[in-house]
Structures are given as C-alpha cells and as structure tokens.
Amino acid sequence: MFMVYKTANRVINRNEATALLEETCSRILSFCNSNAFRQGICIHSPIIKLGLQHHLCLNNTLLSLYAKCFGVDTARHFFDEMPQKDVVSWTGIISAYVKSGNHEMALRVFDSMLISGQCPNGFTLSSVLRSCSALGEFEYGTCLQGYMIKQGFDQNPVLVSGLVDFYSKFDLIGEASALFIDKGNHDTVSWTMMISSCVQARRWTQALQIYVDMVEDGAPPNEFTFVKLLGACGVHGLNYGKLVHAHMILWGVKLNVVLKTALVDMYSRCQRIVDAIKVSNLTPEFDILLWTALISGFAQNFMFRKAVATFCDMRVSGYIPNNYTFSSILNVSSLMLCLELGQQVHSRVVVAGLEDDVSVGNALVNMYVKCSDKVDDALRVFRGISLPNVISWTSLIAGFAEHGFQHDSFRLFTEMRAAGVEPNSFTISSIIGSFSAAKLLPQMLMLHGHVVKTNLYKDTAVQNALVDFYAGSGILDDARRIVDTMSCRDAITYTTLASRMNQMGHHELALNIITDMNNDDIKIDEFSTASFLSASAELGTVVTGKQLHCHSLKSGLCGWVSVLNGLVNLYGKCGCIRDAQRAFREIAVPDTFSWNGLISGLTSNGYISSALSAFDDMKLSGIRPDAITFLSVLSACGNGKLVDLGMEHFQSMSEIYDIVPQLDHYVHLVDILGQGGRLEEALEVIQTLPYRANALIYKTLLRSCKAHGNILLAEDMAKRGLELDPSDPAFYILLANLYEDSGRGDLVERTLKMMREKQLRKNPSQSWVEIRNNVHPFVAGERSHPQTNEIYEKIESFETELKKHGYHQGMGTRDSYHHSEKLAVAFGLLNTPSKVPIHIIKNNSICRDCHGFIKFVTHLVDREIIVREGNRLHSFRKGECSCRG
C-alpha cells in the first residue's frame, strides 16, 4: 500500500493521480468485499491519508466490508461516522441488521432513513419486508406494500416475491396467490418463491400444482425449485417424490450437495432409507448438512445403531458436527432411551461450546426427560440455555408432567408466561394430557380459562386435548359441547371421544359417532375403526362389527395390526371363534394384544385346550406374555378344572416372567382351587393375600362353596363379603341357593327375609339381541314389546314340545318362565332368517332352567344360539352347549 502511495506522489498531474488512486482503492475494496477478506480493511487508512474519506462510493464499499468481516456493530459505528449517506449506505446498514437477525433495529434504521428524506429503492424495501415477516409485523408490512404501490415498485419481481413470502408467513395464501397472478410474466425465481410459500404454509398439494403450472408456462425449474418440491413430497408420499426426482433428471439439473440432502430427506421420510443411501453416494460431495440428514433419516426409520455409526463416520471423515447434527443424534438417544449415549453426546456438545444453543439445549432437555429418572438433569440443562424458546419450555413442562409432577408442570407453565414466552398448542396439549392422567379438575379449569382468552382455543389440537380431558373425567356433556363448537373437527376428535366412551361403558354412544363422522365427511381411519370394533365387541353387536370389517377391507385398513386385533377381539367375544382365528392368521407379526385377544376368545368360547395351546405358541414365537395374558390363561384353567396346571402358571408369573400377580390374578387362583374342590387351599390364598381382599374374591369362593355344598365356609365368606359391600344382594342369593340345594328351606326363607329387610333386590335380568343393526333389550317379565304376544306364543310352543319329549329340566319354573334370555331367544327366532346365528348378551349368569331350555330349542331348530354372560360365552348347537353343562 505504501508503494502505491509513494508512486502516486511522484505523478505530476495531481488530478490524474487522485483519480488513479480512487480507482485503485475501489478495485482493491471491491475484490476484498466480494471475497470477505478481512485484510481489505487495511485500505481504510490510506484512504484517509489520501483525503478520500468523503468519497461516498468508497465509504459504501467499506461499510459492506465492515459488516461482513467485523459484524453489524462495527459497521454501524462506521455508518454513523460517514459524512455523507445515500440510498446505498442506508440499504447497506439495514441489510446488515437483517442478516444478523436484528430485525427490530433494521426497522428503526428504516424509519430514520425516511425521516432523513432519503428515498428507499427496491433492495431497501426487500430487506425491510424480510424483517416484517420475521417479526410478525403484519400492519407494518401492509403499510410498506402501500408505499411500494405509490412509488411504482408494485411490478418489481423481487418485491413481488418478497410480498408473496410475507403473506405466506401469515398463512394468507389467497392474498399471496392473488399478488402472484396479478404480476404475470413470472420468472423461475418468482415461481420458486410461490412454491416455497405453499410449502411453508403446509399447502403441499397446491405447491405441486404450482410446479405443474410453472412447467406449462415455460419457466425452467432450477435446483432451488426442486429442493422446495422435495420438501412437499416428503409429506405427500413416495410416488410424488419419485416423480419429482425423475423431473429433476429430465430437466438436467446438476446433482449438487444441496439437492442430495433434499433427496435423502425425502426418501427417509418415505421409509426408503436404502434409496436415501444410494442418492447420498451418487457423487463424492458431502457436507455437514448431508451427514445430518442421513443421521436423521436413520432415526426416522428406527435404525438407531446405523444412525450412531453414521455420526462416528462423519467425525472420522473430518466433519465437525453443528447444532443440528447434535440435535439429531440426541434425538436418537431419546428414541433408544439410552442415557449413556446421550451423556456422551452431551460431553461433546460442551467441548464444541454449543451447550447454550437453543436447538441443542432443547434436544438435551428432551433426552434427559425421556432417558433419566431424575427431572433435575433436564432442569439443569434448561437453566443453561441462554434464551429458552417455546420448545424449550414445552419439553420441560411435558417432561415434568410425564414423570408425574403435574403441579410442578403447572408452576413451570406460570413461570413460562411470566418470562414473556407465549405457549403454543403443543405446550397446552401436553399440560392438559398430564392433568387428564392425574384427574386435576381445578387446575384444568384454570388452564381452560387461559386458553379461552387466547387464540389457542381455536386450535384443533388444543380442543382435542380438552375433549379427551373432559370425556376421560366422565364429564361427557362438556366434552360433547366442545366438539359441537369446534369449527374444524378431525378423526382424532371423534376417535378420542369414542375411546373415552368405551372406557366408561357407553358403547352405544361410541358407535353413534360413526354417524357424526359421516356427517362431517371425515374418513374413518385405523384408530377410529379399532375404537368402533371395541364398542361392537363389548355390545356383542356382531352385525355392526361385520359392517366395520367390510369397511376396513374396502378402505385398505386391514393391514393395520390395531384393526386386526380389534377383529380378533370382536369375533372372539361374539362367539365367532373361527372368524377370530381367521383374522389372527392375517396378522403378519402378531403382538401381545393379538395373542391376548386370541387366547381370551378361545377361553370364553370354551376351547380350553386350544387356548392353552395358543399360549404355548405365543411363547414359542418369542412374544413375552403380560399380566392380561395370564388372566385369560388362569381363566382357561379354571373353566377346564385344571387345578395343577393353573397353579403352575400362576407361580410362573413371578418366577419366570417377573410379573407381580395382582388381585384379579388371585381371584382366578381362588376360582381354580374352588372349582377343583380344594376349598381349604383357596381359603389359605385369601388369608395370605399381599393385598386387601375385596368383595369379589369372597364371592368367588362362596360360589365354589355352593357347588361343593360347604355351608360353614360359605356362611363365613358371605359374612366377610357383606362387611366390605353390604349392598350386594349376590351374597344373599348365593347363600339362599346353597341352603335350597341342601334342603334347608328354613334358612332360605330367613336369608331372603334379611335381604328384604335391608331393601336389597336382585338386579333385574336383562338381555340384548341385535337384529338388523338395532339392539333390542329385554327384561325379565317383559310385556311392553310390540311383539309380546308372538314372543310368548313361541315360548309356549317350545314348552309344549318339551313336555312331549318328556324333557322336564327345561319345563321352566314359574320364576324362569319370563326370564329375559328366553324372551330374547324367541324374538331372535321370530325375526331372523333360518340358519342365521342368534347373538344374545346377558347382564348376569344364565340360570339352569334357561340353559336347558335353550339347549332343547337348538335340538328342535337347526340354529346356533350364542349367549354371552360377562366374559363367558355359551354356544348352543344341536342340543349341546360349549360349556358342556
């Protein structure tokens, strides 16, 4: 530089020398500015010495160089010292603020520019528009658009593209499209911007349609166009992704590392990780973003070991992970629930100096919440994040809720709002979900009040969470009210409501939701189908269940394990065991629920040996039985009077499978021993229970005492049971029946008298039969049914046939003559075609007289009659019953 200075002094013509120096300095500065060389700042000193510090062009170039190499603060200091400023100067400092992310200061400087009287150009307005988008300054942005129109910038292609992006950020795609259409004569950049805007707004289909319009308009797509399109295809599906990939090849777009990254991401999202790997190896080019996309792709496809191996290969190749890479590998450790891996990555994060980065901090919080038993670890990381955002707070709040600290999660929610961070829909949904699990109604009402005051109340995810809470808390009216006021109901809304109704036993209401979904034109998906199948199974409405089965086949839902499991459960509970087995065989890889449904169905239908054989097959297939499995297995042993085998399976729960038997398992054990006549052992089980005995376990042994005529033990069981549940008439009825079987009429009358004195009465016998999608209920002594006369005539005709055949067991006592199951059988025979099975559900056990009656009916009529009482089914066919009773 000094040589230049000395040479210039020797020149005789000073004006020529000055012009030469100006030109030389300008070229040097321009070169350094283009390449962001910090050494270019050295020219600033000679410029001052040469007296060129007032040269506006040189100062503008220096301003740009300071911004690029030393940051916006240094550039601002230089800008303030500039003696003269033009539109380029103002645009340069505004652009520097925008690039640094300080959008608020960018808008302040723009206001100062207007006050100074300087008129902005298209580049100035473009930078300011970006700041309006980033800050969510909608009103400022629309005012800026008005200024553009007044100054004649409304046809500027760069500004039109900026406005399209601006309106898209506010989800105003209609306005963005109108601007785009009005402009006309679109180039590749404007088409790509419009596609990008639709992708950002999650208008995937519209983005692809605009690409079609772009091609028809003759505008050639570039690499950025395809990058945006591939982002849409990652959501829309593999076929669209392959089509866009093919177009990219047809247009001859060179495969660079940016395109490779977009393709890897698309194929990974479509579960085609092999294709993603092939694309990554098509060229030797790699960068940190491509490595990160591969790690993320393996994680999305649950190939966790390969994700970790790829991270290690990246390090070996000399690439330094950035914040997104660390976030991806931390996500892998969260999915693996591997605390050790997460801690190792955490140590590398500290070495890299990224522990205060928001995205990495969020991933660390999520990892510790998922993998560690201590929420303190997550809290410690959270406190280390410099500026926690809504994702940081939400991860922490959700983590505390998942660990059972609902009150602390609500306290953190309050702290979040005090810190000025507004919760999003996921934050609210997470808290509502935790309150739902803990049944915290007062806190929920407070949160609901906050949600109503904000726009989040209109968010579908938040409304669905509210529906789930109120329905799960038994407040169905409030849940239904929220559903009715929702402007955008979806499949999750109705599936949540149906699932909660099932849990509460309102199965008919759950099935009515099918009509609501059809009215709202919402497709029944695999999750809602599973809920409806569960409702049909509990109601025993096999016709409705078969219609759902047909819908599943037509809709392609029968590939889902949850739907097939629902079918196994439905057919098993409705006595169609062959259909249940057929549905089970269609499951490619049966899970625990599949096997449980099959074993339970076989048990309840009386196929004891098949049920136990299925249990053996389950173990051989490598599926570990759970507590529900053993309930069905113990039930099978009880029904089959396999005492020793039942004892063996009960002991294997804790000894082999580390399953702690619950009270329900002990009830089954008492039943097994009782049915086998080992009443003393059954009593010993009750006396040594690790839990407090309930009324059901005493009732179970009481039934066994009745079967084996043990009056003393029965009286003791009845006494203990009534102490726990004095309002249960079953104890009096079982004891009275035992006295009657033993010929103790005096004790029968005394027991029934005690029952009447306490104003207890047996629950009325009820039965249901489904005919043509309508469920017809019957109660004992029913005479209000429109077909009452025909029903009673049918029963009387069977009674006459019984007498002719000398079959006295089914003659029917005066009491049993009007039992609900007889009425349901007669109604079913009158209203169904011949050969069609009749399915009946009963709310209590079938009596001996009705059991004999139905056996004889199937002897006379070639029909299968299936009666379900609780979890047990009686399949009557050709005068025999599956229970062999």
Q: What is the pLDDT of residues 364-417, one digit of tens each?
A: 999 998 898 888 888 999 988 888 888 889 888 888 888 888 788 888 888 888
Q: How far is CA 595 from CA 503, 577, 589, in A?
A: 21, 14, 10
How far the first Cα of the chain sits from its last, in Å, is 111
Tokens representing residue 217 in the block = 């308009």
C-alpha 880: how far from chain center? 47
Find the mean pLDDT for residues 562-585.
Answer: 94
CA-CA-CA-CA torsion sign (509, 513, 515, 520):
positive
Percent of the chain with pLDDT over 70: 91
Residues, the chain: 885
CA-CA-CA-CA torsion sign (575, 579, 581, 586):
negative
Beta strands at 838-842 and 864-869: parallel, antiparallel or unpaired: parallel
pLDDT, tens digit, for every residue of 36-52?
A: 555 556 565 666 665 66
CB < 8 Å & 24+ apart, contacts of 754-762 = 755/729, 758/726, 760/727, 760/728, 760/729, 760/732, 761/729, 762/729, 762/730, 762/733
pLDDT, tens digit, for every residue of 153-187?
A: 777 777 777 777 777 777 777 777 776 666 666 77
pLDDT, tens digit, for every residue of 475-484?
A: 899 999 999 9
- Strands in 838-842's sheet, in edge-to-edge order, are 774-779, 766-771, 838-842, 864-869, 872-877, 880-881
Find the mean pLDDT for residues 54-66.
Answer: 73
In order, the DSSP letters of 679-719 are HHHHHHHHHT-SS---HHHHHHHHHHHHHHT-HHHHHHHHH
- SS3 label, residue 501: helix
Specify the pLDDT at position 342.
Answer: 92
Of the pLDDT bands very low, low, confident and very high (cuts 50, 70, 90), residue 433 is confident
Specify the pLDDT at position 746.
Answer: 86
In order, the DSSP letters of 164-217 are HHHHHHTT-HHHHHHHHHHH-S--HHHHHHHHHHHHHTT-HHHHHHHHHHHHHH
Of the pLDDT bands very low, low, confident and very high (cuts 50, 70, 90), residue 776 is confident
Specify the pLDDT at position 583.
Answer: 95
Which of 246-255, 288-297, 777-786 is predicted least confidently? 777-786
d(CA 885, CA 864): 16
Find the mean pLDDT for residues 562-588.
Answer: 94
C-alpha 135: how far from chain center? 31
Predicted confidence (pLDDT) at residue 616 exceeds the cutoff of 90? yes
- SS3 label, residue 878: coil
d(CA 875, CA 871): 13
Of the pLDDT bands very low, low, confident and very high (cuts 50, 70, 90), residue 715 is very high
- Return the higher-pLDDT residue of 58 and 566: 566
d(CA 503, CA 491): 18
pLDDT, tens digit, for every residue of 503-521?
A: 998 999 999 999 999 999 9
Find the mean pLDDT for residues 603-612.
Answer: 92
Which of 15-24, 124-133, 569-578, 808-817 is predicted least confidently? 808-817
Specify the pLDDT at position 845.
Answer: 82
Predicted confidence (pLDDT) at residue 656 exceeds the cutoff of 90? yes
